[in-house]
Amino acid sequence: MKYEMLCGAARTVTDGLKDAQMQYEYAVSARDHGDHETAVRHISEAHKRLGGVSEWMELLDESEDAKTPLCRVLLDHYKHWHKDLMEKVEHFHAQAKA
């Protein structure tokens, strides 16, 4: 994977994680204001975006060009961010179903 493609993939992952984080925050806000329907819509969108991020992270993880120390540190950061956010989203989703 060329440098430009690595940068594009990294930006896509970063943007996807930021978007999923925003959707999660919107869901929490909607829930706190008693709008259950909107909260479910936002949390579903966050979950969908995290699924897309997972695909891009796998692509980066498998790339030989992404084996540099800097890329590894960045990918580890993404993995922790993704895991933390996915746990929050799944917990919220489980509560919404209950």
CATH of the domain at 40: 1.20.58
Structure confidence by residue, pLDDT tens digits, 34-64? 999 999 999 999 999 999 999 999 988 888 8
For the chain, what is the radius of gyration of the CA atoms? 15
Q: Percent of the chain scored above 90 by pLDDT?
A: 68
pTM as predicted: 0.89
pLDDT over 70 for what percent of the chain?
Answer: 98
Q: In terms of residue numbers, what domain contains 67?
A: 3-97
Residue 12 has pLDDT above 90, yes or no: yes
Structural domain tally of the chain? 1
